[in-house]
Structure 1
């Protein structure tokens, strides 16, 4: 890490793939663990909205992991986050989302915006020279994209690796070849990867095996340094102005935040923003606590309530406490899993229905297939807040919404948003820094 007048230089690599399911999180986590155990300070970012991959990447690197998204978070936020990481780190890793050029903005757009070279990761099972052809096509699809080389995942033998290596041009080297090893792959479920907290020892074993796996492949050298510059004075002025309008606006207020195995989808940036406003945050467990802590407002984030629905249903003390809080008219923000918890009932993946809080009429029903995902703006009376949807359930017999989410690039209405007493509820997960003034007003109403 070195400072210059143009910014800070720090080795960095962007791990991207031609599609989902190529092993991006497995390889990024293994790389973070490998360099961390060698004594390097590693900071990892995840492209796009995501709660699950960052939990694994945080365990692998030993440091918090935040999303980078040019639409949801904005260019200023992303630039400043990378710059601040570069001032503290020996290595920055960024995991891409979906395929390299998928979405608007795409992983490629993010890599190009900040000048981070891409390591193409590809599952090469069932092909050899064709892997090289695909890699060359990806590397040359945009002239402003810098590609460091190819990582061949699922490479069966040394002969297999040699066929790919010989087919690649000199300016697109084979960075590493990784064998087929199920003991390294990360476990999955209906919305993505399994949370590390559910299988901590197994996750540690997989991370260590993954690091050994990469080390044996020869991928042990830090990538080339990249210059990371802070946000411009004009950008910083706009950001400071937005925060100045909310300085200490929540001082003296206590916000209770649900956080346990059922409610884990919480952006660290959201927590930090509320604390910047002066709020005191107290965390509680709807699963195991019998009473809600004393608070002026409540945040029920998303998570996996469908996996703990019976325990939630049976916790009558917490249900009574939350119902009393709601009827007092105090502010409640309920996102996705928190929204389902607020309904009359929730039907799990086995088709069993359980009573929930009954703060908002309606029922949520889990599905094994289908669902909704994508970037949306929550249209709230306090202002527009950007976020995303990602769920495998449907809600029925709910009240008339106050508004609908605005999709990023489609005219059809997005997720319904409900406002009843002090409760604001929706399937949308909100990214608070996208509009700090609106978020401050919501929790201060």
Structure 2
């Protein structure tokens, strides 16, 4: 099989642009993203026409990462890294970084380096990344934001001093910058000319990237069989229906999570809280993350849909909400300008938007109950919980540094909170959520 990882020397170096460009150059690509991000996989899918899967050691474990990667591999797998190559949850080398993932999967790494303000020093930079952990197969370099003349200048230095191949460059061209999105607020289907931008990017890289050499270095060991960690749960809920909120307000779902639900036997029924007048006939509702604050007016005005959710809840329907989905289930959302939109009023608290990331609740977390870890996930939100009128939170979130706080409201058959969970390391939480389904048999 073939595959490689696109990694950067830092965040903001152009990984997403280069990744999408390379994905457009190859046929039948299986795209992946290191880490918990939801936005970039949407762009991967737009470019390749294939689903993109997250690879996250903290939330999935080694077996989960291996299973997802080998299960979904196609003609060539292209993995977009996260942050800088060696950046992870701590300063160890086994720190869930892109480098850590590349070693686990024996993936060759193509490093993205910025071409500005350097000369021979660029070779020292590449050599440092190569020597920092010799177990990482740093197989090539692509230089971003550089002219053809300067690329040849840098190529000479890098290949002379590092024995790392230069595989091409991306010219300085603002129209090629597809990743200048304000905090990820724009998703792939919200950029009207994205198809034209990708076409332009592809036409440029066809001239500046050595596709043949990349194909040569992409040979990796083929693993024929990786056991699915959840084979013992196959069809446990066969025939049950789960309504998945899918529209511009709710779009953050891990593909592996949805496929696990289908493996359990669930029939997935998508619906739009913005457009639909009522929920579908289902046994469970799943509200993923997204941007309900941006669409709060439309959501609030859709009273018939909200009333159908409330009726479902009162009739003991099972509901799960993550981050944006949780916000939708609360009393309402207060915007930065002071305006207020009423939401479902099932969880008795208000949400207040802030103009900056809630850093105190940012990052990877373990979900704890009664002293036991039953889930893994992460938090990332620009809002805070205000005015809790009835506090039914019964779980703790714990960061790797030991900091804890209460999270996830539990009312009747509902569980919802800020954490985004990956089910591969949250199967005990998922079982707890679904245990009410057993009562319906």
Aligned to 2:223: 229
1:164 paired to 2:158? no
Segments of structure 1 that go 5 or more residues without pairing to the other structure are 1-9
Aligned to 1:174: 166
Q: CA deviation at 1:56?
A: 0.3
CA contact (8 A) 2:17 2:179 kept: no
Secondary structure of 1:329 counterpart: coil
Take 1:394 and 1:124, find their aligned partners in 2: how far apart are those partners?
40
Aligned to 2:418: 427
Q: CA deviation at 1:217?
A: 0.5
Take 2:85 and 2:336, find their aligned partners in 1: how far apart are those partners?
32
Aligned to 1:323: 310
Take 2:282 and 2:172, find their aligned partners in 1: how far apart are those partners?
51
1:141 to 132, 142, 151: 132
Aligned to 1:102: 87
Divergent runs of 4+, >6 A: none
1:80 paired to 2:80? no
State how 1:122-271 maps to structure 2 within 5 Å.
Answer: 122-155=113-146, 157-170=147-160, 171-192=163-184, 194-199=186-191, 201-221=192-212, 222-224=215-217, 225-230=219-224, 236=227, 239=228, 242-244=230-232, 246-271=233-258
Q: CA deviation at 1:414?
A: 4.6
2:378 to 372, 388, 395: 388
CA contact (8 A) 1:79 1:230 kept: no
1:278 to 265, 269, 281: 265
TM-score (norm 1): 0.89
CA contact (8 A) 1:249 1:444 kept: no
CA contact (8 A) 1:275 1:281 kept: yes
CA deviation string 1:322-357 (max 9, x = no partner): 111222232110100011111111123544221111
- Counting matched residue pairs gives 420
Aligned to 1:6: none
2:278 to 263, 277, 291: 291
CA deviation string 1:18-52 (max 9, x = no partner): 111111111111100111xxxx2211111011211
State how 1:305-324 maps to structure 2 within 5 Å.
Answer: 305-324=292-311
Q: CA deviation at 1:96?
A: 0.4
Q: CA deviation at 1:16?
A: 0.4
1:418 to 394, 409, 412: 409
Q: CA deviation at 1:190?
A: 4.4
Aligned to 1:7: none
Q: CA deviation at 1:129?
A: 2.9
CA contact (8 A) 2:368 2:397 kept: yes
Cα 1:188–1:177 shift into 2, 3 Å: closer
Secondary structure of 1:214 counterpart: helix
RMSD: 2.0
Take 2:185 and 2:200, find their aligned partners in 1: how far apart are those partners?
18
Aligned to 2:53: 66
Segments of structure 2 that go 5 or more residues without pairing to the other structure are 89-94, 437-441
Q: CA deviation at 1:54?
A: 0.3
Take 1:195 and 1:98, find their aligned partners in 2: how far apart are those partners?
19
Aligned to 1:397: 387
